[in-house]
Amino acid sequence: MILLPILAVVLAVCIDFAFGDPKNKFHPTVWVGTIIGKLVPFSRGHSTRTEKLWGVVLTISITTLVAIVLYFLNHGLGAINSIANFSYEDELIVLIFSVLISGVLLKTTIAIKGMENHAKLIVQSLSKDNLDDARTRLSMIVKRDTKNLDKQHIISGILESISENIVDGITGPIFYFTFFGLPGAFVYRTINTIDSMIGYKTDSFRNIGWFGANCDKILNYLPARITSLVMILAAMILRADWKHSLEIMRRDGSKTESPNAGYPMATLAGALGARFEKIDHYILGDGNTELTEDHFKSAIAIMKLTAILFCITFTIPMIVILSYFGLWLHA
């Protein structure tokens, strides 16, 4: 039923806009993080080869577990929707039930309001000149040492995180939902969570996290680039500098160590006329104005509009095409 996945995506985005993330004890991503946290200690203290093997086992075992659970749920929803001899009223009830279940579950893989709320807390700390609190909060969402960052580099970190989150926490899960239903969205989010927890090039995680980090790079290759184009469209609609956004994306998108993260970051830097910098790693954009709260507000507007436009310009048309040819995996 073509309406089911389309309505599920719309519902998921609307729920997130309205309510944000559920409490940790009800959040599947937190459950996955807890499992990762319990398995990681068993992976440490071995030879390089053994730790890498543990990383492969950890990544595959967790994603397989998630995929199996979502497969059976997927299959159950599909079975309910395929039962024949329903009256019109019964079919409507089944559709509503399936959309609610699919939409709520899909919502747990995306984070729009959650990112906005966390970023707001950092901005509020900066407005009170509480740099220590801002640095601490920023450290929760970036892979860098924040202890000595000044105000400009903290704001840069916020804006970079917002742009990365557009892919990791919004369009990435929706992209894989588009092709593989709920199992696709959840497997993607699981890999992304593994990368965010252990995908560091430190002595503790270099070997354990290498496999998860590389899986994340592969999965994000297309979503990062498609999302950047949609961000440019969002910038155009919001009357930001979309031409400069396109220019900076093409010029600076490949400057980051990650083959994917640089594209949405450079796109946002260009749209805002800003300059993002991770000290001793990269500089994106060529803006020379001081970063302010206005840049943050504009970034949030671009993030939200990109989420909507991605569904309108990519997800819904693609689901329609796949459904027409009988290729869509039911939610």
Buried b (16+ CB within 10 A) or exposed e, 53-71: bbbeebbeebbeebbeebe
Buried b (16+ CB within 10 A) or exposed e, 171-185: bbbbbbbbebbbbbb
Task: State how beta strands 282-284 and 276-278 pair.
Answer: antiparallel
213-222, 248-257, 285-294, 295-304, range with the lowest pLDDT: 285-294
The answer on pLDDT for 84 being more than 60 is no
d(CA 298, CA 296): 5
The answer on pLDDT for 78 being more than 80 is no
239 — pLDDT class (breaks 50, 70, 90) = very high
85-94, 130-139, 316-325, range with the lowest pLDDT: 85-94
Task: Give the pLDDT of residue 75.
Answer: 74
DSSP 205: T
d(CA 218, CA 306): 22
DSSP 1: -
d(CA 154, CA 124): 12
Express each pLDDT in 130-168 by its tens digit.
999 999 999 999 988 899 999 999 999 999 999 999 999
- What percentage of the chain reaches a pLDDT higher than 70? 95
Residue 74: both structure tokens together: 């997927």
Find out whether 274 and 285 touch, Cβ atoms under 8 Å.
Answer: yes
Q: What are phi and psi of 259, to 5 degrees?
A: -75, -5
Task: Give the pLDDT of residue 331.
Answer: 47
Express each pLDDT in 43-75 by its tens digit.
777 888 899 999 999 999 999 999 999 888 877
Long-range CB pairs of 141-149 (<8 Å, 24+ gap) are 141/115, 141/165, 143/200, 144/278, 144/279, 144/281
Q: Widest CA span of the chain, in angstroms?
A: 67
113 Cβ neighbours under 8 A, 6+ residues apart: 16, 17, 18, 19, 20, 21
Beta bridge partner(s), residue 276: 284
Q: State which of 73-82, 95-104, 244-253 shows the largest mean pLDDT.
A: 244-253
What is the CB-side half-sphere exposure of residue 138 using CA atoms within 13 A?
29
- Name the H helices within 238-310: 242-252, 262-272, 293-310
pLDDT (average), residues 167-175 = 97
